[in-house]
């Protein structure tokens, strides 16, 4: 395992005076190359704040951040935009539509960060944009459309296209499918998994949806009140959680009836299986 | 199962919106559905399938662009579509009540929450303002608001999301309705808060002999919380069955597709599949008779021209509308 990203002793407080509270309170995170890591927790647990700090879009108060062995936590988030590693760490948000300029076509929006961060121009730029949109599974006739002319699922794909166009080595996704129907979500989950596999992109999924994290990730970190309370392989943690908070999260998930042993496909049959 | 006279009967309900650019969108198409007294029914479907429009039609809360083109709605035998506006006002709250996804939009931001509940009680027959206020505090306590007497004086913005959802429930329950509609009432809430709110709805329904219509796009939630699940696609009701049966022995191709797209405890990425295509534009002139036609892998020419009938299994519990069911 090659370590790609490492953060130690991260702390971040919001508010001031007596209202000052730590949203992230002493967190260590390691991400290996090409790994899919889940960051699970409820709203207010600090998971989105960690995502923003990892992407260097938000300044932390304490702790060190290493990317590819290099300290990247010292410069401010504002100055991070000019750093050479900027293109290598990208973030995708839940509200893909809000992240697009309503006046620009989708392909122009995808081109923007490429122009700024990778300095590509002309044919190379066009090619990179189209390749990213293609990989994200957006149909060609949609490239020139404005954001409001796309469906929620198409916009989510466009948001992913813009992030992967830069070929980042670390992609941080905050609830990337929370606003989507399951019919569309499944496609996006497959897409992300393929991108990770084909481009060896490490991904951090921030979500409160344990069922989505379960199918996508190999390792999970569970957050409560700014702390990591449990960490381990997804299979192990979900099957036998060690921390009471993880147990509570899993217990609150709606149960799915097991289909084993139940008769299938009985056209016109009067047989009824009672739910209780 | 004892056969009770249904509380709510919906027959062949069709509804269209006049579009500003001309033309009409046929948003509900021949929808038939019953809810028995005290039954918990889930209505499940993708975004835009017509779930909220259906709920609003039951309450007759749709705007003037909506036209009911066919069908009937009866609650306790009473014809809702021909009831006077005055009568509808009585029925709302007292017979049918609704909780929306976004509590902020349905709570009055500048009125104390205790007052808002007292208002409902006063509108539905309570005479004394004092008694209404006292009962409002009791209702808040009943939905699990701690220190209810003090909290009754709070404004909505002073409450957390989960707490506002509780106030919404108290408000909806104030006049003891026969049918409580919860439209995505827990969507966006944390799983633990969601479980709490659902427990509360369930408890209250049982204590008040109330039926519930749970509108959601979450099949697992529907299965865990409801007796029966009805599935809607592009305004057409495609299947309904007892909850566990719908999840384990679905017969409509769309229900099956929805199930294979939903991640749950037993899923792996490999057995998770997206549903190809999209629901059709309901304003299109050439809508196929079965609106799942373009996305369906079992379609034949018949499906395009002849609307599939709702067919029930011999005891009526499992209903499917498809020419070639699984
Ligand atoms: N006032 C209106 N005028 C015109 N069309 C409308 C109006 N309200 C809803 N619609 C249309 O009716 C269809 C059904 O909408 P509805 O809100 O019932 O969907 P839904 O199933 O509740 O979706 P969601 O899961 O996103 O809440 C949609 O195509 C919507 O655009
Ligand atoms: S009626 Fe035909 S098109 Fe519609 S779901 Fe059944 S098989 Fe598919
Ligand atoms: Mg709705």
pLDDT at residue A247, as a whole number: 94
DSSP state of A69: T
Same domain, B262 and B120: no
Both tokens of B51, joined, read: 């779930």
Contact yes or no for A238/A250 (Cβ under 8 A): yes
Same domain, B217 and B272: yes
Identify the CA nearest to A185 among candidates A67, A96, A107: A96
Same domain, B219 and B155: no
State the total domains in chain B: 2
Of ligand 1's listed atoms, the one at least distance from the Cα of B17 is 4
Which one of B49, B57, B60 would you pick to mutate in the ligand 1 pocket, going by the greatest count of ligand atoms within 8 A of its CB?
B49
Residue B53 Cβ contacting ligand 1 at under 6 Å: yes
Cα(B303)–Cα(A108) distance, rounded to whole angstroms? 42
Residue B326 belongs to some domain of the structure:
no
Of ligand 1's listed atoms, the one at least distance from the Cα of B215 is 22
Identify the CA nearest to B233 among candidates B206, B213, B257: B257
Q: State whether A183 and B251 contact (CB < 8 Å).
A: no
Residue A60 belongs to some domain of the structure:
yes
Same domain, B144 and B284: no
Contact yes or no for A186/A135 (Cβ under 8 A): no
pLDDT at residue A267, as a whole number: 34
In terms of CA atoms, which chain A residue is nearest residue B228?
A: A275
Q: Does the structure show a pLDDT above 90 at B285?
A: no
Contact yes or no for B227/B4 (Cβ under 8 A): no
**Protein residue whose Cα sits closest to atom 8 of ligand 1:** B53
Same domain, B38 and B115: no
Which of B176, B203, B227 marks a domain boundary? B176
Residues of chain B with Cβ-Cβ distance to A275 below 8 Å are: 223, 227, 242-245
Q: Does the structure show a pLDDT above 70 at A180?
A: yes
Q: Is B147 left (phi over 0), alpha (psi -120 to 50) or beta?
A: left
Residues of chain B with Cβ-Cβ distance to A189 below 8 Å are: 263, 269, 272
Same domain, B162 and B195: no
Same domain, B89 and B109: no
| Strands annotated E in B162-217 | 179-183, 211-216
Helix or strand (DSSP H, E) at A245: helix A244-252
Contact yes or no for B188/B162 (Cβ under 8 A): no
Cα(A176)–Cα(A194) distance, rounded to whole angstroms? 16
Backbone angles phi, psi at A32, to 5 degrees: -85, 160
Of ligand 2's listed atoms, the one at least distance from the Cα of B323 is 1
Q: Does the structure show a pLDDT above 90 at B308?
A: yes
State the total domains in chain A: 1
Residues of chain A with Cβ-Cβ distance to B223 below 8 Å are: 254-257, 275
Question: Based on C-alpha coordinates, what's the Rg of chain B?
Answer: 21
CATH code for position A85 = 3.40.50.300
pLDDT at residue A258, as a whole number: 64
Same domain, B275 and B201: yes
| Strands annotated E in chain B | 8-18, 24-35, 40-44, 66-75, 78-79, 96-99, 179-183, 211-216, 228-233, 236-242, 310-312, 319-321
The domain in which residue A183 lies consists of: 3-260
**At B69, is the secondary structure helix, strand, or coil?**
strand
Residue B326 burial by Cβ neighbours in a 10 Å radius (0-12, 13-18, 19+): middle
Q: State whether A182 and B257 contact (CB < 8 Å).
A: no
Which of B161, B176, B191 marks a domain boundary? B176
Same domain, B287 and B225: yes
Residue B2 belongs to some domain of the structure:
no
Residue A265 belongs to some domain of the structure:
no
Q: What is the pLDDT of residues B62-96, one digit of tens each?
A: 888 899 999 999 999 999 999 999 999 989 988 99
Residues of chain B with Cβ-Cβ distance to A259 below 8 Å are: 247-248
Residue B59 belongs to some domain of the structure:
yes
Q: What is the mean pLDDT of residues A229-240?
A: 95
Both tokens of A251, joined, read: 């217990």
Q: Does the structure show a pLDDT above 60 at B2?
A: no
Helix or strand (DSSP H, E) at A9: strand A3-14
Strands A36-40 and A219-224, sheet pairing: parallel
Ligand sitting nearest the alpha carbon of B47: 1
**Protein residue whose Cα sits closest to atom 25 of ligand 1:** B47
Q: What is the pLDDT of residues A1-25, one digit of tens each?
A: 799 999 999 999 998 888 888 999 9
pLDDT at residue B193, as a whole number: 80
Q: What is the pTM of this model?
A: 0.88
Interface test with A, best of B189, B224, B248 (most A CBs within 10 A): B248
Of ligand 1's listed atoms, the one at least distance from the Cα of B63 is 1
Residue B1 belongs to some domain of the structure:
no
In terms of CA atoms, which chain B residue is nearest residue A247?
A: B192
Least confident of A101-110, A143-152, B269-278: A143-152
Contact yes or no for B280/B291 (Cβ under 8 A): yes
DSSP state of A210: H
In terms of CA atoms, which chain B residue is nearest residue A266?
A: B249
Contact yes or no for B35/B53 (Cβ under 8 A): no
Q: A218 pLDDT band (50/70/90 cuts)?
A: very high
Query: How far from B270 is each of A192, A193, B224, B284, CA to CA, in Å?
Result: 13, 11, 25, 35
Query: How far from A97 is each of A24, A26, A155, A156, A176, CA to CA, in Å?
Result: 28, 33, 6, 8, 12
In terms of CA atoms, which chain B residue is nearest residue A207?
A: B190
Same domain, B116 and B215: no
Q: A270 pLDDT band (50/70/90 cuts)?
A: very low
Distance B231 CA to ligand 2 centre (A): 14
Q: Does the structure show a pLDDT above 50 at B23?
A: yes
DSSP state of A147: G
Cα(A40)–Cα(A60) distance, rounded to whole angstroms? 20
Binding pocket residue ranges, ligand 2, CB within 6 Å: B 253, 290, 292-293, 296, 298-299, 303, 308, 322-324
Distance B19 CA to ligand 3 centre (A): 19
Residue A29 belongs to some domain of the structure:
yes
Residues of chain B with Cβ-Cβ distance to A248 below 8 Å are: 192
Give percent of chain B above pLDDT 70. 98
**At B117, is the secondary structure helix, strand, or coil?**
helix
Which of B144, B176, B208 marks a domain boundary? B176
Residue B56 Cβ contacting ligand 1 at under 6 Å: no
Mean pLDDT of chain B: 91
- Which of A181, A248, A257 is facing B46, going by the closest CB pair? A181
- Give A108→chain B minimum CA distance, Å: 26
The domain in which residue B81 lies consists of: 8-95+177-321
Q: A254 pLDDT band (50/70/90 cuts)?
A: confident
Residue with tokens 């499917």: B320
Same domain, B170 and B190: no
Residues of chain A with Cβ-Cβ distance to B313 below 8 Å are: 268-270, 272
């Amino acid at each position: 395992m090659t370590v790609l990203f490492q953060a130690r002793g991260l702390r971040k407080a919001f508010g001031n005076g007596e209202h000052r509270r730590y949203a992230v309170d002493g967190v260590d995170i390691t991400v290996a190359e090409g790994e899919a890591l889940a960051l699970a927790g409820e709203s207010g647990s600090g998971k989105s704040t960690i995502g923003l700090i990892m992407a260097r879009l938000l300044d932390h108060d304490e702790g060190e951040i290493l990317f590819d062995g290099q300290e990247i936590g010292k410069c401010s988030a504002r100055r991070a935009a000019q750093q050479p590693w900027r293109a290598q760490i990208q973030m995708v948000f839940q509200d893909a539509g809000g992240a697009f300029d309503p006046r620009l076509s989708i392909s122009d929006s995808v081109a923007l960060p490429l122009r700024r961060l990778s300095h590509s121009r002309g044919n190379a730029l066009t090619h990179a944009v189209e390749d990213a949109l293609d990989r994200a599974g957006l149909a060609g006739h949609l490239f020139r459309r404005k954001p409001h002319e796309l469906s929620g699922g198409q916009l989510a794909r466009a948001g992913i296209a813009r992030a992967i166009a830069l070929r980042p080595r670390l992609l941080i996704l905050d609830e990337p499918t929370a606003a989507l129907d399951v019919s569309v979500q499944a496609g996006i989950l497959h897409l992300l998994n393929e991108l990770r596999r084909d481009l060896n992109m490490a991904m951090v999924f921030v979500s409160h949806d344990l069922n989505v994290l379960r199918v996508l990730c190999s390792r999970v970190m569970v957050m409560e009140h700014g702390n990591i309370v449990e960490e381990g392989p997804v299979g192990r943690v979900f099957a036998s959680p060690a921390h009471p908070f993880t147990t509570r999260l899993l217990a609150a998930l709606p149960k799915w009836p097991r289909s084993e042993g139940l008769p299938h496909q009985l056209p016109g049959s009067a047989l009824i299986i009672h739910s209780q | 199962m004892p056969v009770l006279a249904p509380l709510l009967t919906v027959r062949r309900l069709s509804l269209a919106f006049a579009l500003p650019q001309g033309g009409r969108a046929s948003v509900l198409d021949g929808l038939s559905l019953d809810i028995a007294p005290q039954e918990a029914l889930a209505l499940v479907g993708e975004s835009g399938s017509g779930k909220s429009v259906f709920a609003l039609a039951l309450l007759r809360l749709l705007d003037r662009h909506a036209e009911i083109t066919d069908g009937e709605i009866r609650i306790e035998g009473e014809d809702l579509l021909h009831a006077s506006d005055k009568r509808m006002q009585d029925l709302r709250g007292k017979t049918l009540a609704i909780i929306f996804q976004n509590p902020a939009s349905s709570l009055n931001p500048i009125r104390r929450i205790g007052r808002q509940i007292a208002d409902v009680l006063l509108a539905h027959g309570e005479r004394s303002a004092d008694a209404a206020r006292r009962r409002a505090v009791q209702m808040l306590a009943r939905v699990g608001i701690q220190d209810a007497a003090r909290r009754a004086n709070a404004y909505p913005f002073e409450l957390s999301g989960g707490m506002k959802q509780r106030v919404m429930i108290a408000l909806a329950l104030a006049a003891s309705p026969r049918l409580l509609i919860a439209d995505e009432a827990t969507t966006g809430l944390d799983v633990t808060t969601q479980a709490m709110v659902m427990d509360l709805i369930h408890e209250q329904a049982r204590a008040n002999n109330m039926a519930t219509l749970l509108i959601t796009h979450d099949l697992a939630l529907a299965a865990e919380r409801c007796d029966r699940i009805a599935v809607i696609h592009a305004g057409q009701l495609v299947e309904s069955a007892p909850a566990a049966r719908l999840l384990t022995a679905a017969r409509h191709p769309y229900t099956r597709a929805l199930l294979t797209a939903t991640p749950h405890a037993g899923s792996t990425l490999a057995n998770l599949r997206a549903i190809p295509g999209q629901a059709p534009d309901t304003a299109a002139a050439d809508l196929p008779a079965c609106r799942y036609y373009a996305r369906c892998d079992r379609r034949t020419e018949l499906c395009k021209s002849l609307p599939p009938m709702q067919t029930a299994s011999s005891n009526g519990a499992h209903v499917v509308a498809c020419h070639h069911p699984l």
